Chains A and B, each alone.
Chain A
Amino acid sequence: MIPVHLLADAPAQLLPARELMAFTLAMHITLVPLGVALPFITLVMHHRGLRKSDPVALLLARRWSAVMAVQFAVGIITGTVLSFEFGLLWPGMMGRWGDVFGLGFGIEAWAFFLEAILIAIYLYGWRRLPPKTHFWLGVPLPLAALMGAFGIIAANSWMNTPRGFTLDGNGRPVDVTVQQAIFTPMFGPQYWHFVVAMFITAGYVVAGVYAVGWLRGRRDRYHRLGFTVPFTVAAILTPVQFVLGDNIARQVFLKQPIKFAALELVWETDTHVPEYLFGRLQEDGTVKGGIKIPQLDSILAGKSPDTKVTGLSSVPASDRPTATQATIAHWAFDIMALVGTALILLALWYAWCWWRHRDLPKSPWFFRCAAVSGVASVVTVECGWISTEVGRQPWIVYENMRVSEAVTPTGASALWAVFGLVVVVYLLVFGSLLGVVLKMSGRWRLADAASGPGPAGEPADDPEADTPYGPRPEPAGAAPGDHRAPGSEQ
């Protein structure tokens, strides 16, 4: 959680409200990459299966759909909780600014609606829809996901660089222009950085599962395909993300200089600013620990050591993150950059082997790295979110509203009680989600072992014979037990 340095005038409920928001959002974020990008990756596999009449690819696509069903469901409810929290925790923000930046959520809600409908059709259409129809009904899914991300990022980037209104005498927003409120300066950089991060993360997470199987000696065509398709998607996008990440950092430097100062631990406004790798900012502005690289921060910010970088001390203490908050944002930023760099090396390794040998790398170390790349990229996504949110403190709406002004008047004890309840419920739900997915994969492994994939890795029987497009038994009158597949545990 985020330890918060309470200012003297901060209301007591601010801390639990923050912890609750941070906790629920951190948990929800772990589901977002798969929610946004798993449909796309599954459709790529599905397409391959249809085009090459490849039963292994179709089997993978079906299994990924089954995982998608469970995780999308949990993502919907944790997302609904976040919408509630806007009102339960930050009514002050929504009451004053809801009409200015709420429209993005309106777009998101409809996009999400479309996504929920299409995903229901896709997930439940495998058995009875004609194969081509079924595939094409799934194709708009990634587009709906991109549209939903558009809404969310529009709202978040507005909080970072609020535009599209003027303040009247009472400090209330008037003359709202929607276009400016949606396409704020940070919108473009944030949107592309986010979307690409989602695809990369989903790719590495899915590929990581098959990398583990590969390391355990399951080197059939099923694992090869399950690894290659998502890993290729992620590996192609990783260098793209390098460029986008560099771009967003420079935009933060230009548009949110105090956040940039926090991310890079810059205290005094100066040129020839050094870059710190890790290290801890002290109250007096010095940095303890960490590796200091002279000149580098100015070079990164403006491509020249003469670039002037605004420091934290240029604004009053009440308008900037505390030393602890700056250190948290800085560490999150550095971890994100480090893991990102490591992922680029991994992608290059993969590209090299593919280019030289038209084959996967042989080294088990490659697969060990690939196996952890999934978890590592989820960590990176969390770090990116921490950087942008903690780096914006103490503002909820940058330079226009403090977090402490937005918080609910509900008492701290009620918030702590609900926080405790939510932690317990979320841990149970996410633990169960993980357990259920692991159980599913365990059952599939048993089924594969029982049916014995052929030497080429193809399932022994022609799967089209009875599933999912073949003739099927009548569902009518089916007793509860009828859905048990032959050969699975009974």
Chain B
Amino acid sequence: MTANVVAWILLLVIAAYACGGGVDYGAGFWDLCAGGAARGKRPRWLIDHAMAPVWEVNNVWLIFVLVLMWTGFPEFFQTVFTALWLPLALAAVGMVLRGAGFALRKPTRNLAGRRIYGAAFAVSSLLTPFFLGAVIGGVASGRVAPGTVASAHAWANTTSVMAGLVAVAATAFLGAVFLSVDARRFGATDLIGYFRLRARIAGFALLVVGVIGVTLTDPQAAYVHHGLTHGAGLAALLAAVAALVLTTWLVSGPASGWARYSSVATVALLVAAWGLAQRPYLVPTSLTVQEAAGASEPLHWMLFVTAVALVLIGPALVLLYRLDTRGVLEPLTEEDVAE
């Protein structure tokens, strides 16, 4: 019972990271695609401006994913981090490059320096979600089991690569939707259409990659494929598609602010579909939630800690996002620190 609740919390936090972190990775993706220094100046300015106050917070979701894994399901954590060693190691390196590139680009003035930091930020924004997606694909493919040692077999396969591509497309989609809304918020009217177009392209790409992915996983990842094409998994998947279509429609309409919510729903439902498809397994088909569950007392305490944290963090998070979307949060400018 407790183990199931913790497993759902884990899925929820993964969804939160996929959405919160996904927006940031997507912003990095569009930074990468923004073109040369002159052409990409405006979109990059917006990306810098929109991302800055919240990216660190979004990153913390990931740490919580790891903590929930090793406290709630130690064997699951051990299995995943042993079998999928390389993509996880590369994702970690990517995160360093990405965070450092972004944080250091802002206070850097000369163009060459900004280019190097910007490139590190943008390229790793593409690679990190790919590798994390590939890890999820590797788990879903059923090639991983307790005791599997690291090998390319576990993650360099169709399911993993498709999951990696889905992750990249989903981040690009989220990023473009949020940036088009941010463009309106910051009054950068020329960028609204720019990112709206990209939101539609990315949405279409996500749909295509997703459909191909689900089709191709048939013999590769039989258990998850069955879950995604039947029952609750299928329902979540269809709901995700509906949310995707709704987003592409909303983003060009007058109520484009709502597109953010529907795009988040798209990605959250995708994660939910994956979770529903592989239940009751954490690692299909060798490790169930019950088998992997750690000692019961820490699990109970984990729920308690989570509840306390929600009371503390919920309001703070709401405050942050409200202040941010109202434009109250602004970086210190040169004049603030120079005078």
Residues on A facing B (Cβ under 8 Å)? 59, 62-63, 65-66, 69-70, 72-74, 76-81, 83-88, 91-92, 94-100, 102-103, 105-110, 112-114, 116-121, 123-129, 165, 173-178, 181, 408-411, 414, 418, 421-422, 425-426, 428-429, 432-433, 436, 439-440, 443-444, 447-448, 451, 459, 461, 463, 466-468, 475-480, 483-489
29 contacts between A and B (CB under 8 A): A62-B337, A69-B331, A72-B56, A76-B99, A77-B95, A78-B96, A86-B81, A87-B81, A87-B88, A99-B70, A99-B295, A106-B302, A109-B60, A110-B313, A116-B60, A117-B319, A124-B53, A128-B330, A129-B328, A176-B297, A408-B150, A429-B100, A432-B100, A432-B117, A436-B108, A476-B186, A477-B186, A477-B188, A487-B335
Q: Within residues 69 to 86 of chain B, which ones have a CB less than 8 A from any CB in chain A?
A: 70-72, 74-75, 77-82, 85-86
When distances are taken between beta carbons in the complex, the residues of chain B under 8 Å from A174 are: 295
Query: Looking at the complex, which one of A110, A408, A466 makes contact with B309 (CB distance below 8 Å)?
Result: A110
CA distance A43 to B334 in the complex (A): 21
Known: A62-B336, A176-B295. A92 touches B78 (CB 8 A): yes
Q: How far is the CB of B7 from chain A (nearest CB, A)?
A: 14
Q: How far is the CB of A141 from chain B (nearest CB, A)?
A: 11
Interface status of B327 (Cβ within 8 A of chain A): yes
When distances are taken between beta carbons in the complex, the residues of chain B under 8 Å from A451 are: 338-339
When distances are taken between beta carbons in the complex, the residues of chain B under 8 Å from A487 are: 335, 338
Beyond A63-B337, A466-B335, A467-B333, 20 additional pairs, beta carbon < 8 A: A81-B96, A91-B81, A91-B82, A102-B294, A106-B306, A113-B57, A124-B331, A127-B336, A178-B297, A414-B86, A425-B93, A429-B104, A436-B107, A436-B108, A439-B109, A467-B335, A467-B339, A475-B330, A485-B338, A487-B335
Query: Looking at the complex, which one of B41, B77, B85, B92 makes contact with A414 (CB distance below 8 Å)?
Result: B85
Q: Is the CB of B67 within 8 A of A88?
A: no
When distances are taken between beta carbons in the complex, the residues of chain B under 8 Å from A88 are: 81, 85, 88-89, 92
Q: Is the CB of B78 within 8 A of A468?
A: no
CA distance A428 to B99 in the complex (A): 13
Q: Is the CB of A95 within 8 A of B335?
A: no
Interface status of B232 (Cβ within 8 A of chain A): no
Closest to B190 in A: A477
Q: Is the CB of A83 within 8 A of B63?
A: yes
Query: Looking at the complex, which one of B56, B78, B331, B338 makes contact with A73 (CB distance below 8 Å)?
Result: B56
Q: Is the CB of A443 within 8 A of B338?
A: yes
CA distance A466 to B104 in the complex (A): 27
Q: How far is the CB of A457 from chain B (nearest CB, A)?
A: 14
Q: How far is the CB of A275 from chain B (nearest CB, A)?
A: 41
CA distance A376 to B303 in the complex (A): 42
Q: Is the CB of A91 within 8 A of B77?
A: yes
Q: Is the CB of A99 within 8 A of B74?
A: yes
Q: How far is the CB of B318 from chain A (nearest CB, A)?
A: 10
CA distance A69 to B99 in the complex (A): 12
Residues on B facing A (Cβ under 8 Å)? 41-42, 45, 52-54, 56-57, 59-60, 62-64, 66-68, 70-72, 74-75, 77-82, 85-86, 88-89, 91-93, 95-100, 102-104, 106-109, 117, 149-150, 186-188, 294-295, 297-299, 301-302, 305-306, 308-309, 312-313, 316-317, 319-320, 323-324, 327-339
Q: How far is the CB of A325 from chain B (nearest CB, A)?
A: 27
Closest to A55 in B: B339
CB contacts between A and B, total, < 8 Å = 303
CA distance A443 to B186 in the complex (A): 28
When distances are taken between beta carbons in the complex, the residues of chain A under 8 Å from B334 are: 443, 447, 483-485, 488
Q: How far is the CB of A407 from chain B (nearest CB, A)?
A: 11
Closest to A177 in B: B297
Query: Looking at the complex, which one of B70, B79, B150 makes contact with A102 (CB distance below 8 Å)?
Result: B70
When distances are taken between beta carbons in the complex, the residues of chain A under 8 Å from B92 are: 80-81, 84-85, 88
Q: How far is the CB of B42 from chain A (nearest CB, A)?
A: 7
Known: A63-B337, A86-B66. A117 touches B295 (CB 8 A): no
